Structure 1
Amino acid sequence: MLMHFQFKPLFENKNIPGWNFSFYHKKQRYTGVYHQTGKIEWTTNTPEQEDLEALTSQVHELMLFHVYE
């Protein structure tokens, strides 16, 4: 489960797509860039392989909910 999920626009011009995000999982902080295409670029602490697919899916769902709705 993701804790304290946050995101903000990557650029000052909010019409340009791209967002920085951060969250905690298992007491570890993760950050990344969410691109318009849905691609996630991890900037710190790439999740363990066993958690990667689930966390990627959760980030994608949260971004769709907050940004595109």
Structure 2
Amino acid sequence: MIQHFSFKPLYENQQLPGWTISFFYKQNRYEGIYEKDGAIKWTGQTPPNEDQVKKMVHELMLFHVYD
């Protein structure tokens, strides 16, 4: 389960889509860039069960950003 999920606009003017994301998963902190097409580029280590984590991140982004 993802904990302490946060996101910030990647660009200051917020007209271009893209967000920096960070969260804890299995007691480790992960960071990445969530792009407009839903692709995630990890800026640090890649989380285990990457596909499952990406699904959870997509759900959180849909809830917080695209609602």
> TM-score scaled by structure 2?
0.95
Alignment partner of 1:55 is 2:57: no
Structure 1 residue ranges without an equivalent (≥5): none
Structure 2 residue ranges without an equivalent (≥5): none
Of Structure 1 and Structure 2, the greater helix share is in: 1
Identity %: 52
Task: Summarize deviations over 1:5-51 as a string: whole Å, max 9, x none.
Answer: 00000000111100000000111000000000000001111012xx1
> TM-score scaled by structure 1?
0.93
Q: How many residues align?
A: 67
CA distance in structure 2 between the aligned counterparts of 1:63 and 1:10, rounded to whole angstroms: 14
Alignment partner of 1:16 is 2:16: yes
RMSD across aligned C-alpha pairs, in angstroms?
A: 0.7
CA distance in structure 2 between the aligned counterparts of 1:46 and 1:27, rounded to whole angstroms: 14
Amino acid of the structure 2 residue aligned with 1:66: H
